[in-house]
Structure 1
Amino acid sequence: MFRLFSHNRLAWLHGPQGAAYAAALGLIAIQVGIGIIMKISQSKGTYDFSPSSSVTISEFFKMLLSTLFFYRECKTRIANREPAHTPLPTSERNSFEETKPFAEDQTSDLNGNGHSMSPTSAYTPAANMDIKTFILFIRNEVSRDTRYGFAQLALFYALINNTIFVAYKLADPGTIQLTKSGVTFITALVMIATLGSKITKIQWIAIVIQICGLMVTQYHPEEGTAYPISTYLILLFQVFLSALSGVYNQALLKSDGSSLHADNMILYASGAAINLLLHLVIRVLKADEPGFFTGYGSIGACLVILSNVFIGLAITAVYKYADAVIKCFATAVATGILLYLSPILFGTELSFLVLPGTIVVFIASWLYMEGAAPKDTNASMPKQVNEPTHPSIFSKMSAVSRLHQRRVLGIASFFTVVVVAFLTMSNSRMPDRAKGKTAGSQPAIDEAADLVLESPFKNTLAMVRWNSDHPERMPLLQQYAPFFHDLHFSMPGYVKGDVEFHNLTHDSFPSAEVIYTQIAKTMQLILDAPAGSATSEIEGLFYYHFDAWIDPLAYAGSNMHNIWFPDIVDQAPPNGGGPRFECMTDPKRYDWWGWGQKFHHASMAASAVVDHFDMDYNVNPYEWCIGWTDIYYVPRRFFADYIFLSSIFGGFSVFHEVAVPTMLHIIDESRRRHPSRSIIDRFGDCWGSCCASNPNVQDILWNRCGHRLDYVNEKVTAVHYERLGNQTAMLGEPIGETVYAHKRPTSPNAFSAETLTALTVDEHGVKPANVTSESIDEANAEMDRLARQREKNLEKIQEASESIDGFLEPEPNPLTDGSSKSTVQER
């Protein structure tokens, strides 16, 4: 593979375009590989390692390889008594003269290392190769302006390399490569505007054909766009950066004839430093960002680094031996290959037009390469002294940048950090950006997507809270275990004498008033779990009291990316129930006993501190909220916000029924994408309130959650745990598809307009109206069938009712012991 990067070793390919063909072939192989690797290295749609650290490590290894290659090159020069470098005139070394960047004579006078073989030299090193001599080679090889140019180019590649991780989380490899291929047209325009390059008519035709072919491969006659507009904007942003950096890289490589390996050393060293800075900034801003060396125990993460190393070297070879547009056509060919592999590896659904579209792409690629402009015979002729020159855009920009190199580089670095941090942070909220797409009468929820019955909480931790010491209840609560990823039992005195004890499954936290601070500690344990571990799979935390009941399977189809908070109607304020979820600035709006305890004063003080931190939270320091906090759910993407806010509110000892609603309200106001799009799902089908008791059997079976179960009433409590046992046995069963009324195969015309208008009603009853006897017979048959089905359903309901009545007959129940005979009054 490394033979691609030496021009004289590519001589086995005949023709002036031989090196370009070889470099493009290598690029195709690597792009197909990295497209697959970037997708299979994901775990549940995300990466267990830090993308910025992966890019940093890749850039560092590429720098080491380039250093090794340049060291060998320098030893060869010493052995051949070649100069360290033939300095160009100052006017040439300090500007980018790209008016003829693709002329073959520009490289015909160079040896395989990209250096002039002029007999004159300003410096010839000693015969022996030592560290000082090697450093001298490095310092004299690349001009100062070119070094600054490569540092700026490294900023472009930092944006591109970090954005590509976001792209592979949002789209399939075929779509990503397809969008990259569209850069051909943009690159051609940029080359014309900046470098004065010439694109022949045949090449323009090839570009148009290529774009049409790529569009055909993705065309679905019956569907719209597969991804939301934000995904396409990110892909287009990367396309634009690729086009601009490609031309800029080409200009730098051909600016002063320096060694390709020396250029790479500067580029990759700058890239490693910039991406390391990006990683440190993202770690500060994003609490769940993996550590620098976290997640590299998997082969997928290592393959990502390896593929990035090779693709960087291959792209450099393409720019050195061909031009940036060749790179784009190599990407187009790789797209066609990935479009074939995506259905096999990732289950992507492709249109029947993918085959002809891909063939068109290959033909267009061949047509472009064969339609290159002939060699300009006047390109090698020296310009007349009085011949006017037209400096390129890069020449003008470089002249301005040369006057303020450090300032320009600093501003560009700051801009890069801001953009990458924004994309990374917005990507952490990407599940909220899913686009609901329905067609006609098709339901929004695809019930056929699940093949077997699974708990919606399979990746959720259930945190069950006791406010007093009752370890005898724990075995009964263990029946929730099959439905959750893990169970966490929080009970005062669980470990005697150690109130600070806590791990992923237990804690001894004593205070019910600020229990949210212990919830935050549990969230932090989840975020700190090593990537690839079982704990790192947890995507949410469901908190509820032990005497609440949860019907796990009833939450199927719920939005697991939003916060859930109960929204109940307080039947007897201020002391009889509730409190209902409400935010206010005046305690007179709601009659509640807590105002006498000045709970809202502590909340306002905590909100003022949050607002003082200036951390992009939308906070009204004069507003607070109240609500029932015995049952609620927080997804992983808001763990960092919850942890930070709980540390502030816990510091002021804000009462939990004020602190938790206020914190969740702050998160909602700060993280929602639009004022009309709340990230809190307020559920009102939870029976009871903070202080309600004695639900009956119908309350248990009708409501998917509630509070409080009376464990003294063994008959009612047994109904809930019997249901949990039955649902546990159902897990793993196959799920059938929903058959909609208008799509029934046995009666396709039962709901047609002709059938429904076959009957009219007047004072004499029902009679036919201008219809055929066949349609009436069909309608009558359907009505008879529905009547028979209704009778069967009534019989099943009667049998179920008799079973429940028999179940409620008094009988011994082993659920409780003598200690359960006392009523547990908890809050």
Structure 2
Amino acid sequence: MINKETGSLEHNSHEALCHDNHKGQEGTEETASVTDSGQEEIPDDIGPCISITMLKHLSLILLTLQNAILILVMRYTRTRKGDMYFATTAVVVSEALKVLTSLVILANQEKTITKLFCYLRDNIWRQPLDCLKVSVPSFIYTLQNNLLYIALSNLDAATFQVTYQLKILTTALFSVLMLNKKLSPQQWSALVILFVGVALVQFRPEDSKSPKTSGSLAQKPLMGLLAVILSCFMSGFAGVYFEKILKGTKQSLWLRNVQLGGMSVIIGLLTMEIKDGVKIQEHGFFFGYDYVVWIVISFQSLGGLLVAVVVKYADNILKGFATSAAIVLSCIASIYLFDFRLSLPFSTGACLVIISVYIYSKFVPEKSLPQANVGKEKSPSRVILSKNQNVSIRESVVNYINRFW
């Protein structure tokens, strides 16, 4: 009897703690709050030394570097001599690391393990329909990550990097269809230029192609090209879908990453069993792994988190254009690392892609610029934005520079 009463008291105390923790989290979510007038108020200062503008630009720069380095190292691991690791296992480990990192950040925010447990229980276990929404991009991202390994096993890093920028076109199209975003005529022209540039990259003379790799896998350029194109469509849809989830709910960014990564691990394990189950039973889960493979996995996990931050504080299209800068880095590095040879069609196509980036970034519709919340005072350190509106890179850079003058 005493034990039962004690257990009941402990249970009630635990429920009360969770309830208090849930109430204490209201108004302190990481996402932007909505004002009485129906507008979304985004704090310009996240921490004592970090502003929204600085975080946005820093995340875009880091994402660009991460994309360039990841593609080069991943290409190296898929073409070198020796035992080849299973790409499906790398995808699973990468998603698991992403979940672990997000949990560490959430634990730091919640301060105690008990509060973290209550937070996860209230927002994941007790909201299955909300988690079900995340399963759509999780499934697509998992397949996309596997397609990237197939593409880089059959295309050189520079060609892959340029062709992969088609995801900007698909992202823009899905943004117009799903988020009702408006593009200026110049931006539509930039997307056409982008498509032409990517097409030119594919037409390279035989003598300008990179020497045949010494790796154990035979190169199949057509298979690599199809994998990239399919991956671009998946990236565009999943990215816009995830952006809509992030900006349409009050859930924490890191909670969404836990949901996204957790579902991706489950889907990745199923994919791994279907594709490489027999081989993994024979050779082992970590067959072919070394420190270079772990670098690839770590960079891939970092990229997923950076993408989430960029989508949250910038937008999905700007994320795509920021990564386009990695083209230059990949081309230069490929010349020295993989004996890549530039040709006139490739150089022309790459230049067209870069030009399209400039045009698209410069001619942003006026509706995309920030609008003040009329009739309501605000401090200079805060910016009021209408819901689902985004600040252009050009305007943000100008505002950031003006702070120092």
Report the equivalent of 2:391.
none
Q: Of residues 263, 269, 274 in structure 1, which corresponds to 2:262? A: 269
* Corresponding residue for residue 194 of structure 1: 178
| CA distance, structure 2, for counterparts of residue 347 and residue 222 of structure 1 | 14
Cα distance in 1 for partners of 2:46, 2:83 equals 39
Q: What SS does structure 1 have at the residue aligned with 2:364?
A: coil
Q: Which structure is larger by alpha-carbon Rg, 1 or 2?
A: 1
Measured after TM superposition, the shift of residue 210 of structure 1 is: 3.2
Show the 5 A alignment for 1:26-37: 26-37=62-73
Higher mean alpha-carbon deviation, 372-381 vs 265-274, is at 372-381
Q: Contact 1:45 / 1:169 at 8 angstroms: preserved in 2?
A: no
Map 1:285-684 to 2 at 5 A.
Answer: 285-286=278-279, 290-296=283-289, 298-352=290-344, 354-355=346-347, 357-375=349-367
- Name the structure with the higher helix share: 2
Contact 2:190–2:360, Cα closer than 8 Å, also in 1: yes
2:235 is matched by which residue type in structure 1?
A: S
Deviations along 1:635-665, one digit per CA (max 9) or x if unpaired, are xxxxxxxxxxxxxxxxxxxxxxxxxxxxxxx
**Against the structure 1 CA distance between its residues 65 and 207, is the aligned structure 2 distance closer, same or farther, given a 3 Å change threshold?**
same
TM-score by length of 1: 0.36
Equivalent residue number for residue 175 of structure 1:
159
Q: Which runs of 5+ in 1 are unaligned?
A: 1-5, 76-128, 382-827
Superimposed CA distance per residue, residues 244-294 of structure 1 (whole angstroms, 9 cap, x where no aligned partner):
111111111122121111111111112122222322333445579742122
State the Cα distance separating 1:310 from its structure 2 match. 0.8
Q: Is the 8 A contact 1:282 1:289 kept in 2?
A: no
Letter in 2 for 1:256: T
Query: Conserved in 2, the CA contact under 8 Å of 1:182 and 1:211?
Result: yes
Q: Call closer, same or farther: CA 1:282–1:228 in 2, change over 3 Å.
A: closer
Cα distance in 2, alignment partners of residues 17 and 373 from structure 1: 20
SS in structure 2 of the partner of residue 235 of structure 1: helix
* 1:153-196 deviations in Å (ceiling 9; x for gaps): 21111101111111111111112122210122222111111221
SS of 1:8's equivalent? coil
Q: Structure 1 residue 50 and structure 2 residue 86: aligned? A: yes
Give the alignment partner of residue 247 of structure 1, picking from 240, 244, 248: 240
- Secondary structure of the residue aligned to 2:308 is helix
Flag the structure with higher strand content. 1
User: Residue in 2 aligned with 1:208?
Assistant: 192
**Cα 1:161/1:12, change in 2 over 3 Å:** same
Asked if the contact 1:217/1:353 (under 8 Å) is kept, the reply is yes
- CA 1:44/1:25 → structure 2, altered by over 3 Å: closer, same or farther? closer
C-alpha separation in 2, matches of 1:38 and 1:272: 20
Residues of 1 paired with 2:54 and 2:303: CA distance? 19
Count how many residue pairs are aligned between Structure 1 and Structure 2: 320
Distance 1:29 1:173 in 2: 14
Q: What is the Cα deviation at residue 66 of structure 1?
A: 0.2
Aligned to 2:16: none
User: CA-atom RMSD, angstroms?
Assistant: 3.2
| Structure 1: distance between partners of 2:345 and 2:272 | 42
2:288 partner letter: G
* Deviation per residue, 1:290-336 (Å, 9 max, x gap): 4212222x221111111111111111112112222222212322123
Q: 1:23 to 1:208 in 2, by over 3 A?
A: farther
> 1:637-695 CA deviation, whole Å, 9 max, x = no partner?
xxxxxxxxxxxxxxxxxxxxxxxxxxxxxxxxxxxxxxxxxxxxxxxxxxxxxxxxxxx
Q: Does 2:135 align with 1:135?
A: no
CA shift for structure 1 position 74: 2.1
Percent sequence identity over aligned pairs: 25
Give, in angstroms, the shift of residue 65 of structure 1: 0.7
Contact 2:137–2:239 at 8 Å: present in 1 too? no
Give the distance between the partners of 1:177 and 1:253, measured in 2 at CA. Answer: 27
Q: Distance in 1 between matches of 2:199 and 2:137?
A: 31
Taking the aligned partners of 2:82 and 2:159, their CA distance within structure 1 comes to 18
Tell me if the contact between 1:7 and 1:19 (Cα under 8 Å) persists in the aligned partners. no
Q: Write the deviation string for residues 134-161 of structure 1: whole angstroms up to 9, x where unpaired.
A: 2221233465433111123211111011
Partner SS for 2:226:
helix
Alignment TM-score, normalising by the size of structure 2:
0.70
2:45 aligned counterpart, secondary structure: helix
Question: What amino acid is aligned across from residue 154 of structure 2 in structure 1?
Answer: L
* 2:239 aligned partner, one-letter code: G
- Residue aligning to 1:153: 137
Read off the aligned partner of 2:296 and give its amino acid letter.
Answer: V
Q: Give, in angstroms, the shift of residue 30 of structure 1.
A: 0.4
- SS at the partner of 1:330? helix
* Pairing 1:74-93 to 2, within 5 Å after superposition: 74-75=110-111
- SS for the counterpart of 2:256 is helix
The CA distance in 2 between the partners of 1:219 and 1:13, in whole Å, is: 45
CA contact (8 A) 1:11 1:18 kept: no
Q: Quick one: structure 1 residues 233 and 140, their matched pair in 2 at CA, closer, same or farther if it must change by over 3 Å?
A: same
3-state SS of 1:42 partner: helix
SS where residue 318 of structure 1 aligns?
Answer: helix
Q: Does the 8 Å CA contact 1:20/1:321 hold for their aligned counterparts?
A: yes
Q: Give 3-state SS (helix, strand or coil) of 1:170's partner.
A: coil
Q: Deviations over 1:226-259 (max 9, x none)?
A: 9653332222111111111111111111221211
